[in-house]
Amino acid sequence: MVSIKIIVATHKKAKMPVYKSYMPVQVGAALKPNLGYVKDNTGENISDKNPSYSELTGLYWAWKNLNVDYVGLVHYRRYFALRKGNKDPLKNILNDDEINKLIQEYNVIIPQKRHYYIESLYSHYSHTHYKSQLDEVEKIIEAVYPEYLSTYKKVLNRKWGYMFNMMIMKKEYLDSYCNWLFDILFRLEENVNKEQVANANNLSKFQGRFYGRISEILFNVWLQQQLNFGYLQKKEIKEVKYIYIGKVDMGRKILSFMSAKFFHRKYNRSF
């Protein structure tokens, strides 16, 4: 039997899936009271980085500590789903049978593209966060992973991306991705500590979580480069719809998006 664990990253108590493929994981457990879930401060971990790395501390924990064939990451309020309409949204998410059917055919499962239409990934990030962070990442890639540089630039110019750090991947691909990703982020963190990234030491709590946001873009870079290398084929990758658990303040989200683009007002909260 193929083994799979999809961690549900959470920092609060929430209703969780009943399917055996899912594993609720408390992220940032080193810094918060015990919620009663599996904690990301056990085994090899970076739990104390959660205020800046967000759900990536859960991904790191899963990478280092889960011995399974497939590993996934979703969020307590955002899941993969093939349907809508059930009053209980957790009954709309991928169930065990659907997950097992997908992994028989695909090695990488990702959320549907998110389109920005009037923004590139770079301009959107620059308007809502701080472009110096992406510029520093480019320097790191150029120095350490130069074969990824042209792909990095191309991805930043796209007007769409696979976002939210959501995925289900065969473990060998997760190993490849995480080795690459965390090496870049740890180098970026070292540069931040040396004050090489503008504003990094004077950010709000919300803006301080930029490592997690940068990784959303980097996932697209890594994935595209695996296709370029021939390590993955398009037929091995499956886009799946996603749903939110709870309400999304679309009015505020659209207003904040437009304010960031036209008036350079940085985001200061989630939606």
Residues 139-196 pLDDT 10s: 999 999 999 999 999 999 999 999 999 999 999 999 999 999 999 999 999 988 766 5
pLDDT for 79 equals 98
In terms of DSSP bridges, do strands 70-75 and 167-170 run parallel, antiparallel, or are they unpaired?
antiparallel
Q: State the Rg of the chain over Cα.
A: 18
pLDDT at 84: 85
Residue among 181, 134, 159 nearest 261 (CA): 159
CB 74 within 8 A of CB 240: no
Predicted local distance difference test score (pLDDT) of residue 205: 81
- Report yes or no: 218 and 181 within 8 Å, Cβ to Cβ: yes
In the predicted model, what is the mean pLDDT of residues 136-140? Answer: 97
**86 within 8 A of 124, measured Cβ to Cβ:** no
Burial class (CB in 10 A: 0-12, 13-18, 19+), 208: middle
Q: Does 270 have pLDDT greater than 70?
A: no
Query: Which of the 8 DSSP states describes residue 93?
Result: B
For the segment 16-31, the average pLDDT, to the nearest whole number, is 98
Q: What mean pLDDT do residues 9-19 have?
A: 97
Average pLDDT over residues 69-80: 98
**Mean pLDDT for all residues in the chain:** 91
pLDDT for 252 equals: 54
Decide if 63 contacts 178 (C-beta within 8 A).
yes
Q: What is the mean pLDDT of residues 4-26?
A: 97
Angle subtended by helix axes 210-229 and 56-65, to nearest 10? 50
d(CA 201, CA 203): 6
Percent of the chain at pLDDT above 90?
A: 80
Say how far residue 189 (Cα) sits from the centre of its chain.
Answer: 17
Total-model pTM: 0.91
User: What b/e readout covers 171-193, taking b as 16+ CB neighbours within 10 angstroms?
Assistant: bebbebbbebbbebbebbbebbe
The token duo for 78 is 């955002």
> What pLDDT was estimated at residue 202?
72
Confidence grade of residue 87 (pLDDT, cut at 50, 70, 90): confident
Whether 271 shows a pLDDT value over 80: the answer reads no
Q: Report the chain's terminal Cα–Cα distance, integer Å.
A: 40
Q: Tell me which of 250 and 78 has the higher pLDDT.
A: 78
pLDDT above 60 for 261:
no
